[in-house]
A and B are shown apart, each in its own frame.
Chain A
């Protein structure tokens, strides 16, 4: 009997414990609502919880996969950094809410000389940096001078978009001059057709010269711009907090009081956070989870217009991939529709060009290589590989918008290849190693992709496939002189129609040479609470939250 009563007592304690855990969480709403206001020390008191509740719905919590690397946009190349800096800084001109059309921002209007060598920007009046200093032509000059004179190790986007730095032969921006307080003039050494598209890129955001001088190297952790939100706090690997810029030049904007970017590395956890109501927007939702979001009444799905490409690169210098026929054969051996159905939940279109269809210059007349294993075998036989060959197939170790699961996609390709006698061994490395080894030309074939930076064809074709970029982003070591001439011509020709024609020709050459197997253009998805309004998922992958509000 004694034994039994002690046992019952223990069971009772256990049950009580569980019940207490349950009760303890009965009041989540109240606590969840609290918001510390820096300017109001008194908010720590419990009595003030009530008043804070009303302001909660003006704080947006944005859940994303990783933390920012730096908060000085000129220094970084990763999307997670840009997602934040876009809200702290403005550029001279900016992209439209949903596309890459050019709109005024810090410059209200601009003129271009007939020869395409001089751009004159009229600047917005009365704009102030977050530190209270004035935005003016001198500030623009200061920023461009800073990049042009920059250490080569620092401002890669500047070097890459404007042909190098001061003193380099290919440097496009010869001079940036303040004509008067609110007019700034750019003189180019040669016409650059996508110049405005480039200037609108987030890395060329204008930072406060005073803050740059004051903080020096630590500016990247104390960013000061003119943007809709003011930087407040950055806890690395955890969160970045921005608060409303009360003096923002766009009247009545931003709508939100506060934006908190939190890092939630696991995709499934991020979705759970959204469903549980802890975050308002979840970035990088796995395509297969789209139905789960659609199934929740208080959630909505945001679809980012596709401006990317996922591909299987074939290293053109490694036998047998140095043979065009082999590359074409493999192009016939991939079932893109099947891959999309299985791993993208239909949130992608099959690719036939390196360019996504939304970009001006896309060549829709190209006939894609049909999925045809017989044809593939024929071509292989013609190339002298009737019995196939063995190869390595590299699978990306990390999910990316254009490639949610590299391993699985590689497995599908592997089984298709097996049917034409090509034995592919799937290989994967940790991400940085993967990129380095692929860049060194050590892969036979590798999965990779690209998201456009500025909506221009140049940013795909030249960057990924020109011989100038071998050792950089041309991982396949594909080199074609005719293509190179066309791409360079398209870069400098100011006539947009002529450029589009050039890019169409370029795609024909690429299609014929088949340096890649273009796989998909995916439409990345985000999840959000139903009461989030005017959130525009931008094709470049990052967007300002200026217009977002809750109902």
Chain B
């Protein structure tokens, strides 16, 4: 197991190396010169050239790429062309914002999705089963921006239950320590702010959770159905074990592997794919951070932002793979 883990970790190096290469050259293939974008419409040719020189953009591509790699080896993510701040310092609040949102979304997706899948399997062909699966189908195909706006219209404009967007009440801002607002407010004992932050999380959380929730529900249902038809479950039931116990202990444990795979994949997608949700809900997360950087052709931010997200993505997949073995002792990595 340990050697497998180390091997997998070592494999990350070429993967991430390839990633830096692709991202580096792809963003430079987009037309649009950072110097031009930074200086704006009124800039003169002279001005643009002098800024290009200052930023090192007049160097050949491969020189720039090797400079970038050299920086990465010293764990230096570079400096934003626009804000002049170190990317490694600047990126954390955005990452934390996305983590927090993704965590809540994942929680909703897993709790609701897994349970809906179980109940559907359990009461197969009941009205609940049909309703849940129709909702899951709609959930997968629903555009996030539409769902987000509908949520806002219903829960903010009509019912006035939840704030329409943003991460916190700007008139009563959270004092940041870790940049995870739920944790920060608790650390400071600000229950009022904790509830406020929670309320801000609900709608974007649901919007972001919808697709994974639907997928998880469907996968759970089908793998539960398979497991529940198996002999040992029938035996357990014949022995008079309580239905609840049979479902949540025996069946779920065996049905969980495919579900876990989906959860792992969806977590990565949540991180990267949060951009629409972040836009609709004015969420200052990593998706918008990278998106804005692309708009400004802020190369170091785009490169490092994508690299960080990619690293997290592969790490999550690694963790999921390791969890398989933990959950199902039959799986061995050698």
Interface residues of A (CB under 8 A from B): 2-3, 6-7, 10, 21-22, 24-25, 28, 30-36, 44, 46, 49, 56, 59, 61, 67, 69, 76-78, 151-154, 156-157, 159-160, 217-218, 221, 235-239, 241, 260, 262-266, 268-269, 272-273, 275-276, 278, 429-433, 435-437, 471-473
- Tell which of B43, B44, B164, B242 touches A269, judged by Cβ atoms closer than 8 Å: B164
**Contact: A236 with B83, CB < 8 Å?**
yes
Enumerate 16 A-B pairs (CB-CB under 8 Å) in ascending A order: A7-B123, A21-B161, A24-B198, A35-B171, A49-B192, A78-B40, A160-B42, A217-B84, A235-B93, A237-B289, A266-B282, A432-B297, A433-B30, A433-B32, A472-B42, A472-B43
Decide: A31 near B172, CB < 8 A? Known: A152-B47, A273-B164: yes
- Tell which of A32, A153, A436 touches B33, judged by Cβ atoms closer than 8 Å: A436
**Contact: B171 with A59, CB < 8 Å?**
yes
10 smallest beta-carbon distances between A and B, as pairs? A77-B40, A34-B172, A153-B51, A25-B161, A432-B32, A276-B156, A238-B284, A272-B164, A152-B47, A156-B42
Interface contact tally, CB-CB below 8 A? 185
Bound Cα distance A237, B149 (Å): 21
**Contact: A235 with B279, CB < 8 Å?**
no
Most-contacted residue by chain A among B82, B157, B244, B294 (CB, 10 A): B157
Interface size class of B (residues with CB under 8 A): 35 or more
Distance between B306 CB and nearest chain A CB, rounded to angstroms: 17
Cβ of B199: which chain A residues have Cβ within 8 Å of it? 24-25
Bound Cα distance A163, B153 (Å): 51
The reply on B281 being an interface residue by CB < 8 A is yes
Bound Cα distance A302, B190 (Å): 38
**Contact: A159 with B149, CB < 8 Å?**
no
Q: A61-B171, A431-B295 are in contact. List 8 more A-B contacts (CB 8 A).
A: A7-B119, A32-B169, A61-B170, A156-B40, A236-B90, A269-B282, A272-B164, A278-B165
Cβ of A3: which chain B residues have Cβ within 8 Å of it? 122-123, 243
**Contact: A152 with B50, CB < 8 Å?**
yes
Bound Cα distance A32, B198 (Å): 14
Bound Cα distance A240, B226 (Å): 55
Bound Cα distance A269, B30 (Å): 30
Interface residues of B (CB under 8 A from A): 30-33, 35-37, 39-48, 50-51, 54, 82-84, 90, 93-94, 115, 119, 122-123, 128, 145, 148-149, 152-153, 156-157, 159-167, 169-173, 175, 188, 190, 192-193, 195-196, 198-199, 202, 242-244, 279-282, 284, 288-289, 292, 294-297
Most-contacted residue by chain B among A28, A33, A156, A237 (CB, 10 A): A237
- Tell which of A22, A275, A276 touches B163, judged by Cβ atoms closer than 8 Å: A276
Cβ of A430: which chain B residues have Cβ within 8 Å of it? 30, 32, 294-295
Decide: A278 near B164, CB < 8 A? Known: A159-B44, A473-B42: yes
Distance between A241 CB and nearest chain B CB, rounded to angstroms: 8
**Contact: A433 with B40, CB < 8 Å?**
no
Distance between A406 CB and nearest chain B CB, rounded to angstroms: 16
CB-CB nearest in chain B for A218: B84
Decide: A278 near B163, CB < 8 A? Known: A160-B42, A431-B295: yes
Distance between B110 CB and nearest chain A CB, rounded to angstroms: 15
**Contact: A56 with B288, CB < 8 Å?**
no
Decide: A276 near B160, CB < 8 A? Known: A76-B40, A263-B282: yes
Decide: A269 near B165, CB < 8 A? Known: A152-B47, A435-B41: yes
